Amino acid sequence: MARKALKHSATPATAPPPEPRELRSPAALLAWGAIAAVGIALLAIALGPHRVGDYYTETDFYGGYGPGARLLQRGVFDASRYGVSGPAFDAALALLGAVVPNLFVAGEAIAIASALATLALWFTLLRGRAGVTAAAWTTVLLAANATFLRYGYSATTDAMALALQAGALHLALARRGRPRPLLAGVCLALAVMTRYTAAVLLPVLLLAPALVPPTAGRSRLRDALLALAGFALAALPFVALSLRQGHVPGELLFHNVAYDAFASGRGRTLADYQAFAQPGIHSLGETLARDPLALARRELGNLYEHALGDARDLLGWPVATAAALGLALLVARRRARIAGPLALGGVALYIALVPAPASARYSLVLAPFYLALAGLALACPRLPLAKLRTRLAPLAGAALLALSLVTSVRAQRETFALLPVETLDVARPLHRVAPAERRVMALKPHVAWLADAAFVPMPQVTSLASLAMACRRADARYLYVSWIETNNRPALWFLLDPTAPVRGLLAVASTAHPGAVLYRIGPGFGETPAWLASDTLRAACVARFIARMPASLTGRAHLTLAVWARGQDRFAEVREHAQAALAADPNQAYAWRLLGDGQLAGGDRAGAIASFERAIAIAPHDVDARVALGWMQLGAGNDGAAAEAWRPVVDETTDRATLQRMAALFGARGEEASAARAQAAEARLPR
């Protein structure tokens, strides 16, 4: 049957509607059964464990989409909010919020409906192009994918963007008879106003009339113009309103490029980028001009590194192998009628994601394209050994499905374990405070949203005094501390323990596990507690701090303590906590660096070198680690090893003294090209 569908799709005539028996085939029933099962699972999750959004992607709901929807409900359009993503999700929240007052629940409902629509649209799209068997395998593998399921219940833009993109492709490519290019253009515009990267699909829609079988009485040029008109009809009002307010849609996307090239690609965190690089980058032009060579190297590397990341993190290696086999089949059998339009869309989306940091979440838009290849491989079109493949393909598909389900269940459990349900309890007493007093500082806006309070973002602070100063400047009356605050602000670790006395802070609400504390800020806040100098009292507080962290984050708790101890020059404690962090997860490059610092301070240079070498083995692009290792190797008299550590990061080093020493070292070793690179890098530094 799959062979018959492939034969029809390869002819110039319009593919006939599926036969009734095909619609009732085991493959079709499998696909629709998977869609129904996903719907039940997503609804159970939304009504069960997903009571609050996570501290990662769903932070955008509490700090962006939710407030944006409330503004739209009041008739206020603020174009400055849409520098990274468009207003479509906010608008959908605002509309659904008219009947579902809880906007978080409305966001979940949008995600669930979008996930189910995506599955149905891709099944019907592929059924007409690759056959019902390939379409069914694609659908069930997508339904079981961990990332797809994760964002199928999340109050984020991901599922909605995926559904709108699928709708645009379906309208442009899969409808029989009279095509619907105008609606396809409108649908794509809505997708772009959800996630801007969808704009790369516009050329696909314009070329779609030439990529599908012709329809009698229809002009392909006219259909392309109708698609463009539909896109403009939906998108131009938003663009016009934004320009009128002095903003260009997507004007802040360059920060994704800059962060990936100048921070993530060098082993630095988002906080490092925000503190040191972001203040000097204000446009795409400044991004391109900052370090063109480093930017070019990063983007070229991303061309293949993103594919490896997608295979590992989005699909899993077994499913990725099946997708590679499907690609080989398409190329070998020259199935242009099947692959052409969809391949163009997939390649366009892949290229659009190259400048961004690698992420399974970002790559979710590519999952249906990847899995369509896996589905085609499992359908086995025109392969030899027909009897053998007929028996093996279902077994292989069942194995891939089972592996995907196991991975997906594990991923959802990990997500549920870190949902900040403690914010629900802590927010209640804050909501009872007088509205004028409800100003709370926290790292994430969850508590503020739940308590209907003013949110004061916690700045990058390195001491209690700097935190107190920030609170006074922002007139914050309350301070919220949980594991996410201590994880990202190590100087505050002891505030997770409400029994540890800190002048000027009164604990008014707390939860035990995971730990969270809401403090009322009073006079005298900012003094470092004297008890921190006592080894005994500090050790007792450390034990309570670790006990209040989520069980899965015990290693991260020790990493937090190692960072704090490093800032206090308590190197024995640095070694102790770094080793504990590595015992929990030996693949933490930063923990190896901290251990190396502690070993070097304790006189163990050889141990420090070994630790930094482990860090670089885990994170080869970490510039800071390589610079430090080079200096240590020089101190040990290992000039060759120092040159080896420094050579890959000459062009990305920004310390003048290091660059001068690099030039001297490479020159003494006769490595003139590397010495010249070091001199050129120094010349680029601001004077």
Average pLDDT over residues 251-271: 77
* Burial of residue 418 (number of CB atoms within 10 Å: 0-12, 13-18, 19+): middle
User: Residue 10 above 70 pLDDT?
Assistant: no
Average pLDDT over residues 7-14: 37
How much helix, strand and coil, in percent to the nearest 5, is found in the chain? Answer: 70, 5, 25
CATH class held by domain 422-528: alpha beta
From CA 181, how far away is CA 94, in angstroms rounded?
Answer: 28
The predicted-structure confidence for 135-159, as pLDDT tens digits, reads as follows: 999 999 999 999 999 999 999 999 9
Q: Which residue has better confidence, 651 or 471?
A: 471
Q: What's the pLDDT at 282?
A: 78
Q: What's the pLDDT at 295?
A: 83
User: Residue 505 above 90 pLDDT?
Assistant: yes
For residue 481, list its beta bridge partners. Answer: 517
Task: Tell me which residue has tokens 């240079």.
Answer: 605
Q: At 34, list the tokens.
A: 């998977």
User: Residue 422 above 60 pLDDT?
Assistant: yes
Q: Label residue 2 by pLDDT band (50, 70, 90).
A: very low
From CA 158, how far away is CA 118, in angstroms rounded?
Answer: 11
Percent of the chain with pLDDT over 70: 90
User: Residue 348 above 60 pLDDT?
Assistant: yes
User: Residue 401 above 50 pLDDT?
Assistant: yes
Percent of the chain with pLDDT over 90: 74
What is the Rg, in whole angstroms, of the alpha carbon atoms belonging to the chain?
Answer: 28
From CA 237, how far away is CA 81, in angstroms rounded?
Answer: 16
Average pLDDT over residues 518-532: 95
* Neighbour tally for 481: CB within 10 Å: 29
Task: Tell me which residue has tokens 């004061």.
Answer: 456
From CA 346, how far away is CA 682, in angstroms rounded?
Answer: 41
Residues 493, 564 contacting (CB under 8 angstroms): yes
From CA 562, how far away is CA 596, in angstroms rounded?
Answer: 12
Question: What are the Cα distances from residue 428, in Å, to 331, 451, 521?
Answer: 60, 6, 18
User: Residue 299 above 90 pLDDT?
Assistant: no
Does the pTM surpass 0.75? The reply is yes
Q: Label residue 252 by pLDDT band (50, 70, 90).
A: confident
User: Residue 97 above 60 pLDDT?
Assistant: yes
| 49, HSE (Cβ side, Cα atoms, 13 Å) | 13
CATH class held by domain 545-684: mainly alpha
Q: Label residue 601 by pLDDT band (50, 70, 90).
A: very high
Domains of the chain: which residue ranges? 7-252+291-417, 253-290, 422-528, 545-684
Of the candidates 91, 211, 210, which has an alpha carbon nearest to the alpha carbon of residue 160?
A: 91
Average pLDDT over residues 92-99: 96
Complete DSSP assignment for 336-368: HHHHHHHHHHHHHHHHHHTTSPP-TTGGGGGHH
From CA 498, how far away is CA 515, in angstroms rounded?
Answer: 9
User: Residue 412 above 80 pLDDT?
Assistant: yes
Q: Label residue 676 by pLDDT band (50, 70, 90).
A: very high
Least confident of 80-94, 265-279, 372-386, 543-557: 265-279
User: Residue 388 above 50 pLDDT?
Assistant: no
Q: What sections of 359-512 are H helices per DSSP?
A: 367-379, 386-417, 422-431, 446-451, 464-474, 483-488
Q: What's the pLDDT at 217?
A: 60
Q: What's the pLDDT at 4?
A: 39
pLDDT, the chain, mean: 90
Average pLDDT over residues 345-352: 93
Q: What's the pLDDT at 12?
A: 36
Q: What's the pLDDT at 389?
A: 54
The predicted-structure confidence for 185-243, as pLDDT tens digits, reads as follows: 999 999 999 999 999 999 988 888 777 666 666 678 888 899 999 999 999 999 999 99
From CA 452, how far away is CA 429, in angstroms rounded?
Answer: 11
Q: What's the pLDDT at 654?
A: 86
User: Residue 128 above 90 pLDDT?
Assistant: no
Average pLDDT over residues 122-134: 90
Q: What's the pLDDT at 14?
A: 41
User: Residue 416 above 60 pLDDT?
Assistant: yes
User: Residue 548 above 90 pLDDT?
Assistant: yes
Q: What's the pLDDT at 684?
A: 83
Least confident of 173-177, 308-312, 604-608, 660-664: 173-177
Q: How many helices (H) and strands (E) does the chain have?
A: 34, 5
Backbone angles phi, psi at 397, to 5 degrees: -65, -40
From CA 430, how far away is CA 83, in angstroms rounded?
Answer: 32
Task: Tell me which residue has tokens 């939304």.
Answer: 46
Average pLDDT over residues 31-53: 97
Q: Which residue has better confidence, 615 or 684?
A: 615
From CA 192, how far away is CA 509, in angstroms rounded?
Answer: 43
* Burial of residue 216 (number of CB atoms within 10 Å: 0-12, 13-18, 19+): exposed
Question: What are the Cα distances from residue 465, in Å, to 11, 469, 489, 497, 602?
Answer: 74, 6, 13, 18, 29
